[in-house]
Structure 1
Amino acid sequence: MNTNANDLVQKLWNLCSLLREDGVTYHQYVAELAFVLFLKMAKETKREEQLPKGYRWDDLARREGMEQLRFYRELLLHLGTHGSTRVQDIYANASTALRHPKNLNALVKALDALDWYGVDRENLGDLYEGLLEKNATEVKSGAGQYFTPRPLVDAIVSVLKPQPGETVQDPAAGTGGFLIAADRYVRAQTDNYFDLADPKRQEFQRKKAFYGVELVPETRRLALMNMALHGLEGELILGDTLSPVGRDLPRADIIITNPPFGTKKGGGKPERDDFTFPTSNKQLAFLEHVYRGLKSAGRAAIVVPDNVLFEENVGQEIRADLMDKCDLHTVLRLPTGIFYAQGVKTNVLFFTRGQTDKGNTKAVWFYDMRTNAPAYGKRTPFLREHFTDFEKAFGADAYGKSRRKDQGAEGRFRKFSREEIKTRGDNLDVLWLKDEGQGNGDDLPEPAVLAEEIRQQLQTALMHIGELGSLLEADSMETK
């Protein structure tokens, strides 16, 4: 975004102070602001035709006092059942946390007073995405789990290179960042789809090419607004990918996702009858969904925490199955501090579905961005250019088939054969760089990072205990 756009995002975020008297939390604020902001942006982008007449920005802005608050409540209900299908999805079951007319009036007047004309009309959707990022970086909101940092999203899309006519799926869509970035990439390659002379191809890109699933209703609402403001009309299902909803998704040319971390609620296993390796570990379950959900020669990138690389038992079985069915060509070890949840250590797995189901991975290339990397955070922001060396090493081929150079024991990019990985018990937690900070007490992780590592280890241990209990129970039933 340009400077004017960034300034506008900051001003929008600062409007939160207007709502504090009504006891609105940061996360509620984004949803509350989004309801009003969507009306304003629909007017600014000349897309008000999707809204029913009488329930648009000017209809809200010209009222004041209690009349305005009553109309606003009526408007939220009305838009949940009228207007375009996307509008009805966005405002479904919408309600307001505002109790005082003066706060709504101040919010509407503040939005009207902002300098919308200093921003490119085609990039107004990015303003909303910037607001979502602000929400994610605000520790009090706890919303970071729904937002993947934009530099990471853009880097992943850049190396996967989605093409016109390909379907792109995100089974854990969050606020829609991956789908929007993929759409943005294709638009940039096709002059905003104008190069696709056939109207049917243009309509496919707008309505069919990008689709996903989101479990949390309020997060899906934010994603739908985000997509609508970017002109993306693809389907976003409200549901659980680890249920039959995910089983019934059409296979995709590309799957890009950052699934939620942790175990399935209640410790239960996915309700999927198509999984060979049922597990309560959500990241492993999503990984199985992704490689099973690809078309032949389809390609994928999935963000996973460290434990997916070394988890034993079912984890080892899933990794072996992945490397059989797919060419797992690249593992990117991400630095800490780039996600808004403290202490999360993550990686990106890049792979291509094979023509057959056996022996597709011949070697895996590992790129280590974590060891001896700066401690990223508010003081040292993580930027798009930090991926430059990785993208160069990855190469121009979206399937990981570019000519690559092993940088040796002192470099960040190494190649390990399938046989070498097999001798490690299919453990993908491969390290070779010496951590120059080891042995120095000043370089110990922050307490929050250590606490997160301990929490993840305890969670893994509890998962194993639960699975062991299920096995013992099953054995007991068989012996009766």
Structure 2
Amino acid sequence: MAAAGKTADKTSRARLSAVIKSARDTMRKDAGLNGDLDRLPQLSWLLFLRAFDALEDSRELLEEDYRPAIDKPYRWRDWAGDPDLYGDALRDFVNGELLPYLKGNLEGATPRDAVLVDLFKDIHNRMLSGYLLGDLVRQLNEINFASSDDIHTMAYLYESILREVRDAAGDSGEFYTPRPVIRFAVKQSFLSLGESILDPACGTGGFLVESLEELVDRADSTEARQQLQRDLRGIEKKPLPYLLCMMNLILHGIDSPTIVRNNALVQMTSEYGPGSKVDVVLTNPPFGGEEEASILERFPKGVQTRETAWLFLVAILDKLKPGGRCAIVLPNGVLFGEGAGTRIKERLLRECDLHTIVRLPQGVFAPYTQIPANILFFEKTGPTKETWFYEIVPPDGRKGYSKTKPMRDDEFEECVKWWGDREREGREENERAWRVPVADITANGFNLDLTNPANGDDLIHRPPYELISDLVAIEREILGLLEKLAVNLEGLK
């Protein structure tokens, strides 16, 4: 059965981009959509239904026991090209029939189909004009998915939409991980088929998609591919990133993404037993955030802290299997934090081999924050004996990053060469790499915010205006966090 709007030729990437641009121009005219944080979710769920219908088309041809995930008349092909559904009639159908069906009428279906119920439970049509909605649907109906290659093209374009959502979200205090950082963390985690991989702050799914792409070519059977899909797990608290993550993974070929929508600190501290443990954690948890008192009570008194990143680290230590490993992005403040932070770092070094800390350049998350960050790599294999530090520096002539000049993959190439194999054999100290015995770290109060000894006089050679500019940017950000903390404390009175 042909999907509505299909033509003989598949849609090129350029054509697809043009259609999406036209669709977004249409949405800008609707009074119900205010800014990209409204328009992009609206585009995303409609675009998802269009792409999902193409995937269903392929399933119908390939699977002998095929059963549609969406029944008539709610499939995209049934209503998107119906000339009688336009204007108010289309708006009323979407609001009164389609979305209620997707939110509840699939309950009791197979796990794959039930994904749709969970996906659409918080979706609303925000467009007020049924005529503009009709124009938008017909524009998206021009996209042609003639083969699985077109789904990959859709996934590629979807990544560009996700980047724009991340840009818009940055204004709300959410900072998404740059793709080069994700690729590096995944690559240096040396993933294997059969390992359970969790991102407890998965956002739009960057770490999970990269893990999938790292392993999918090794899965040479249907069973192996299905197991790989089950092994990729995520937790996401906020509805918009959750929606985009689910759609992103489905468009990357994962039929039933194992993504839980919940506060990860609640989810991870509610799961018990060996079956709840995982082999690998890859994540960039929110930092600078604060959790409510009921969340803190889930943790031992000695490590109760409102710093979200610290609580994630504790939960991850509990979540890893013996022998498990983790790559986690953390800000400098976590490395030198005292009080509960000191006790958490002491536990980390006692239970795990914190073998590598990669110090990222300032501005990796620019333009949203100038706070420097790091990637910590550790394995739950016993106490740390020594920790290697490696400093990533911007390319020659660059002092930092911006929205138009972000970090690039090749900036990690030297570190990858230095790293060695999975056992990290052959490492040597150089102008970017140094090692610190755990006894020195302990004697220094478990401070992990250690600078490169080769750069001892670096500050002397930097121009004063650069130093002042950096200090002003960081102080402004710290002031903003303190003001936020003061408001929250005032509310606790």
Instruction: Give the TM-score of the pair, scaled to structure 2.
Output: 0.82
**Deviation of the 1:91 alpha carbon:** 0.8
CA distance in structure 2 between the aligned counterparts of 1:386 and 1:118, rounded to whole angstroms: 36
Q: For 1:379, give the aligned amino acid.
A: T
Task: Tell me whether 1:438 sits opposite 2:453 in the alignment.
Answer: no
**Mapping of residues 401-440 of structure 1, within 5 Å:** 401-407=424-430, 411-432=431-452, 433=455, 434-435=458-459, 438-440=462-464
**Mapping of residues 13-412 of structure 1, within 5 Å:** 15-20=23-28, 21-24=30-33, 25-45=35-55, 46=57, 49-62=68-81, 63-73=85-95, 74-83=97-106, 84-114=113-143, 120-123=149-152, 124-138=154-168, 142=171, 145=174, 147-188=176-217, 190=218, 193=219, 195-196=220-221, 199=223, 201-206=224-229, 208-232=230-254, 233-243=256-266, 245-248=268-271, 250-266=276-292, 270-273=296-299, 277-339=303-365, 341-354=368-381, 356=382, 360-370=383-393, 374-397=399-422, 401-407=424-430, 411-412=431-432
Contact map agreement 2:302 2:343 (CA 8 A) in 1: no
**Deviation of the 1:47 alpha carbon:** 5.7
Deviations 1:204-261 (A, max 9, x none): 222x201121111232122111122122223211212222553406111000111112
**Deviation of the 1:375 alpha carbon:** 1.5
CA distance in structure 1 between the aligned counterparts of 2:363 and 2:58, rounded to whole angstroms: 38
CA distance in structure 2 between the aligned counterparts of 1:112 and 1:182, rounded to whole angstroms: 31
**Deviation of the 1:342 alpha carbon:** 2.5
CA distance in structure 2 between the aligned counterparts of 1:137 and 1:184, rounded to whole angstroms: 24
**Deviation of the 1:6 alpha carbon:** 7.4
- Per the alignment, residue 473 of structure 1 pairs with none
CA distance in structure 2 between the aligned counterparts of 1:461 and 1:13, rounded to whole angstroms: 43
Contact map agreement 1:166 1:209 (CA 8 A) in 2: yes
CA distance in structure 2 between the aligned counterparts of 1:95 and 1:22, rounded to whole angstroms: 15
Deviations 1:155-204 (A, max 9, x none): 1111112211100011111112212211221103x1xx2x246x3x4432
Deviations 1:47-83 (A, max 9, x none): 6733223212222322322222122222112111234
Contact map agreement 2:151 2:251 (CA 8 A) in 1: no
- Shift of the 421–151 alpha-carbon distance from structure 1 to 2, 3 Å rule, reads same
CA distance in structure 2 between the aligned counterparts of 1:275 and 1:51, rounded to whole angstroms: 49
Contact map agreement 1:335 1:370 (CA 8 A) in 2: yes
- Name structure 1 gaps, 5 residues minimum: 471-480
Contact map agreement 2:302 2:340 (CA 8 A) in 1: no
Q: For 2:232, give the aligned amino acid.
A: F
CA distance in structure 2 between the aligned counterparts of 1:412 and 1:462, rounded to whole angstroms: 41
- 307-316 or 242-251, larger mean C-alpha shift: 242-251
Aligned length: 448
Deviations 1:370-411 (A, max 9, x none): 5785321133232222221222222221xx53321110xxx1
Contact map agreement 1:242 1:270 (CA 8 A) in 2: no
CA distance in structure 2 between the aligned counterparts of 1:457 and 1:405, rounded to whole angstroms: 41
- Per the alignment, residue 455 of structure 1 pairs with 480
- Per the alignment, residue 64 of structure 2 pairs with none
Q: Give the 3-state SS of the residue equivalent to 1:426 in structure 2.
A: coil
Contact map agreement 2:22 2:139 (CA 8 A) in 1: no
- Shift of the 78–303 alpha-carbon distance from structure 1 to 2, 3 Å rule, reads same
- Per the alignment, residue 110 of structure 2 pairs with none
**Deviation of the 1:17 alpha carbon:** 3.1
CA distance in structure 2 between the aligned counterparts of 1:437 and 1:461, rounded to whole angstroms: 38
CA distance in structure 2 between the aligned counterparts of 1:310 and 1:88, rounded to whole angstroms: 44
Contact map agreement 2:102 2:116 (CA 8 A) in 1: yes
- Name structure 2 gaps, 5 residues minimum: 1-10, 60-67, 107-112
- Shift of the 393–213 alpha-carbon distance from structure 1 to 2, 3 Å rule, reads same
**Deviation of the 1:276 alpha carbon:** 5.7
Q: Give the 3-state SS of the residue equivalent to 1:12 in structure 2.
A: helix
Cα RMSD of the aligned pairs, angstroms, is: 3.1
**Deviation of the 1:121 alpha carbon:** 2.6
Percent identical pairs in the alignment equals 27
Q: For 1:262, give the aligned amino acid.
A: G
